[in-house]
């Protein structure tokens, strides 16, 4: 137990101020001397032992009647390790512009609002802690300390399985654990907002698997740097979050993994940059089995790696010219509505449906999926039918058949080409009329220039080139012309044979195409 006589002058000042919650400011007023980066050089006049801070927070100097006790310290060098593991802290800890020699341990602790702002801390462990207020580390630099008890990787800030009744504020904070975990927050529960904005930088992986962020996660303009070759910049597997805002210049140099994440409201990447892993051999965004209401993927530039949305479900999808990389995984991706973001007009972004050849644009990003999968085509066609664009739906389904044809054997591909050329797989039935008209015109002109021989002279209807051509092209029934006349001219006879064969092929193709359409729809 510390005695008052053992305290240094700055420690006595802090000791006396604690019962009334007064602030102790040890800064000199000279900007060059007060820079936190140089805190290791601060002498005894600005040094407070971590043990003194712990003793005060644990009741060594009781509060004065009628006053609210609290530890408020600015501009100090905190020597030693601040160990409050398992402590029940009933006072506010408010530290600004301080330089910590050792790490801060709040493992399993219970505390009121905690603020360590604009300070330098070599690792903060708050696993399984309970904060009945805000956890505020704004503008601080938190560097990797020793491996956390919850994992083997070096970690700068650990919030694993902790609960924060207020918000977590990391605006302007730098979390540095190159090759490790900048933030370990698996299973963390934050009832207020989780703010990582205004210059937030994470060097190392930000891990929030299974987190419950009922106030949302806001990372506007944040920069996540993962120096590992195939590293993950942000991992939120199976997390639940009200709003996930990764917009306004948010930059991730590593994979953003939202596998199984449930976003109750909106997920936005508007104006974000997804660089993917540094070696380029890995996805930029993994959203397998993700759920969201509003999903805005209008990025600042195309992702450097693949986008994997297999099995994801969103109600509203916003996409633009920079949304899709060269490889997109869309099998099982379900959406209720699609909007394309046009270029900005008078400072406002316009949304367009069906503009700038949107059908071709959307078919293009579907075809970026490796291999063939019918579901993305069926999903897009279903949405077009829902909004009343039946022609566009047929274009999508035709593109699906053409993509499928590339996976078939040579004979089946040849038949597919025939279906495509004649009736567009049943989605362009008017092509059959064009072919019939062209063949009818050809036959009529050729047969008019030649004279056929009657099978039974003096009997039957007179020769009519137009009717005779139709009779050859129609394989079922007859108009009485082809059975009444034959040719001695080889050219006309071979044309007659060809028209009969083409009539059978064309009719079969029409029936097959229409049947295929009815079966698929």
Instruction: Please report, rounded to a whole number, the percentage of residues in the chain having pLDDT higher than 90.
Output: 49
Confidence grade of residue 474 (pLDDT, cut at 50, 70, 90)? confident
With beta carbons less than 8 A apart as the criterion, state whether 176 and 142 touch.
yes
**pLDDT value, residue 311:** 92
Mean pLDDT score, 250-262: 94
Instruction: Please report, rounded to a whole number, the percentage of residues in the chain having pLDDT higher than 70.
Output: 87
With beta carbons less than 8 A apart as the criterion, state whether 296 and 266 touch.
yes
Predicted confidence (pLDDT) per residue in 360-405, tens digit: 878 887 888 888 888 888 888 887 887 777 777 878 887 888 777 8
E-strand ranges in 365-465 read: 453-454
Mean pLDDT score, 470-495: 75
Cα of 271 vs its chain's centroid, Å: 13
d(CA 49, CA 54): 9
Predicted confidence (pLDDT) per residue in 444-466, tens digit: 888 787 778 777 776 767 878 88
Secondary structure of 23-70 in HEC code, one letter for each residue: EEECCCCCHHHHCHHHHHHCCHHHEEEHHHHHHHHCCCCCCCCCCCCE
**pLDDT value, residue 150:** 53
d(CA 443, CA 499): 8
**pLDDT value, residue 228:** 61
Task: Name the nearest CA neighbour of 194 among 113, 117, 135.
Answer: 135
For the cut 60, the answer to whether the pLDDT of residue 151 exceeds it is: no
For the cut 90, the answer to whether the pLDDT of residue 25 exceeds it is: yes
**pLDDT value, residue 351:** 41
Helix axes 490-520, 465-473, angle to 10 degrees: 50
Confidence grade of residue 350 (pLDDT, cut at 50, 70, 90)? very low
Question: How many other β-carbons are positioned within 10 Å of the β-carbon of residue 9?
Answer: 9
For the cut 50, the answer to whether the pLDDT of residue 205 exceeds it is: yes
**pLDDT value, residue 196:** 95
Question: How many other β-carbons are positioned within 10 Å of the β-carbon of residue 94?
Answer: 18
Burial of 294 (0-12, 13-18, 19+ CB in 10 A): middle
For the cut 50, the answer to whether the pLDDT of residue 71 exceeds it is: yes
d(CA 69, CA 462): 117
Confidence grade of residue 416 (pLDDT, cut at 50, 70, 90)? confident
With beta carbons less than 8 A apart as the criterion, state whether 103 and 83 touch.
no
| Beta-strand relationship, 485-486 and 453-454 | antiparallel
Q: Which residue has the tokens 């971590």?
A: 50
Angle among Cα 393, 394, 397 to the nearest 5 degrees reads: 90
Confidence grade of residue 147 (pLDDT, cut at 50, 70, 90)? low
For the cut 50, the answer to whether the pLDDT of residue 353 exceeds it is: no
Look at 47-61, 260-274, 397-411 and tell me which has the smallest mean pLDDT: 397-411
Q: Which helix (H) or strand (E) holds 431?
A: helix 430-448
With beta carbons less than 8 A apart as the criterion, state whether 432 and 423 touch.
yes
Predicted confidence (pLDDT) per residue in 106-124, tens digit: 999 999 899 999 999 999 9
**pLDDT value, residue 344:** 39
Burial of 235 (0-12, 13-18, 19+ CB in 10 A): buried
Q: Phi and psi for 442 in degrees, rounded to 5?
A: -60, -50
With beta carbons less than 8 A apart as the criterion, state whether 193 and 212 touch.
no
Q: What is the residue-averaged pLDDT of the chain?
A: 84
Q: Which residue has the tokens 């529960």?
A: 189
Q: What is the phi-psi region of residue 245: left when phi exceeds 0, alpha when psi lies from -120 to 50, beta otherwise?
A: beta
**pLDDT value, residue 362:** 80
Cβ neighbours for 408, distance < 8 A, ≥ 6 positions apart: 416
d(CA 317, CA 380): 12
**pLDDT value, residue 489:** 77
Residue 154's Cβ-side half-sphere holds a number of Cα atoms within 13 Å equal to 16
**pLDDT value, residue 355:** 38
**pLDDT value, residue 347:** 39
For the cut 70, the answer to whether the pLDDT of residue 96 exceeds it is: yes
Predicted confidence (pLDDT) per residue in 226-249, tens digit: 766 558 899 999 999 999 999 999
Task: Extract the tokens encoding 86.
Answer: 């398992």
Confidence grade of residue 432 (pLDDT, cut at 50, 70, 90)? low
For the cut 60, the answer to whether the pLDDT of residue 301 exceeds it is: yes
With beta carbons less than 8 A apart as the criterion, state whether 292 and 270 touch.
no
Question: Where along the chain do its domains lie?
Answer: 219-407, 414-520
**pLDDT value, residue 508:** 67
Helix axes 390-405, 358-366, angle to 10 degrees: 30
Confidence grade of residue 15 (pLDDT, cut at 50, 70, 90)? very high
For the cut 90, the answer to whether the pLDDT of residue 81 exceeds it is: yes
Predicted confidence (pLDDT) per residue in 316-340, tens digit: 999 888 888 888 898 889 988 888 7
Q: What is the DSSP letter of 122?
A: S
**pLDDT value, residue 146:** 53
């Amino acid at each position: 137990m510390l005695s008052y006589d053992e305290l240094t002058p700055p420690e006595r000042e802090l000791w006396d101020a604690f019962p009334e919650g007064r602030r102790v400011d040890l800064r000199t007023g000279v900007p060059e001397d007060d820079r936190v980066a140089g805190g290791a050089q601060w002498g005894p006049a600005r040094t407070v032992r971590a043990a003194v801070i712990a003793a005060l927070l644990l009741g060594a100097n009781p509060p004065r009647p009628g006053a609210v006790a609290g530890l408020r310290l600015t501009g100090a060098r905190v020597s030693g390790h601040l160990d409050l593991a398992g402590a029940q802290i009933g006072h506010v800890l408010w530290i600004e512009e301080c330089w910590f020699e050792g790490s801060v341990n709040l493992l399993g602790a219970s505390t009121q609002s905690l603020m360590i702002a604009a300070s330098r801390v070599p690792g903060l462990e708050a696993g399984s802690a309970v904060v009945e207020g805000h956890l505020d580390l704004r503008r601080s630099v938190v560097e990797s300390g020793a491996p956390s008890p919850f994992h083997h990787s070096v970690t700068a800030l650990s919030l694993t399985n902790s609960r924060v009744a207020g918000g977590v504020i990391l605006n302007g904070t730098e979390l540095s654990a190159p090759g490790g975990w900048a933030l370990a927050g698996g299973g963390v529960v934050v009832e207020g907002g989780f703010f990582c904005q205004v210059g937030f930088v994470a060097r190392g992986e930000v891990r929030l698997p299974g987190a419950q962020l009922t106030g949302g996660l806001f990372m506007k303009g944040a920069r996540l740097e993962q120096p590992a070759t195939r590293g993950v910049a942000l991992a939120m597997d199976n997390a639940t979050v009200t709003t996930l805002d990764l917009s306004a210049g948010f930059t991730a140099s590593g994979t953003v993994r939202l596998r199984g994440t449930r976003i109750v409201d909106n997920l936005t990447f508007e104006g974000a940059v997804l660089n993917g892993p540094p070696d380029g051999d890995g996805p930029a965004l993994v959203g397998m089995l993700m759920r969201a209401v509003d999903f805005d993927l209008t990025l600042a530039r195309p992702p450097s790696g693949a986008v994997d949305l297999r099995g994801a479900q969103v109600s509203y999808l916003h996409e633009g010219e920079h949304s899709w990389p060269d490889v997109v995984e869309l099998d099982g991706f379900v959406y209720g509505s699609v909007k394309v973001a046009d270029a900005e007009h008078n400072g406002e972004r316009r949304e367009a449906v069906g503009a700038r050849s949107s059908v071709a644009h959307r078919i293009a990003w579907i075809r970026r999926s490796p291999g063939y999968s019918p579901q993305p085509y069926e999903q897009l066609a279903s949405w077009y039918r829902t909004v009343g664009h039946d022609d566009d739906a047929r274009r999508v389904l035709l593109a699906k058949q053409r993509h499928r044809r590339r996976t078939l054997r040579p004979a089946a591909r040849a038949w597919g080409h025939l279906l495509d050329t004649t009736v567009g797989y049943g989605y362009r039935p008017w092509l059959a009329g064009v072919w019939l008209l062209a063949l009818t015109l050809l036959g009529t002109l050729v047969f008019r220039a030649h004279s056929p021989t009657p099978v039974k002279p003096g009997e039957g209807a007179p020769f009519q080139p137009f009717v005779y051509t139709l009779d050859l092209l129609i394989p079922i029934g007859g108009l009485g012309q082809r059975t009444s006349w034959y040719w001695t001219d080889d050219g006309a006879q071979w044309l007659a044979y060809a028209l009969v064969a083409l009539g059978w092929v064309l009719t079969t193709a029409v029936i097959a195409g229409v049947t295929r359409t009815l079966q698929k729809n």
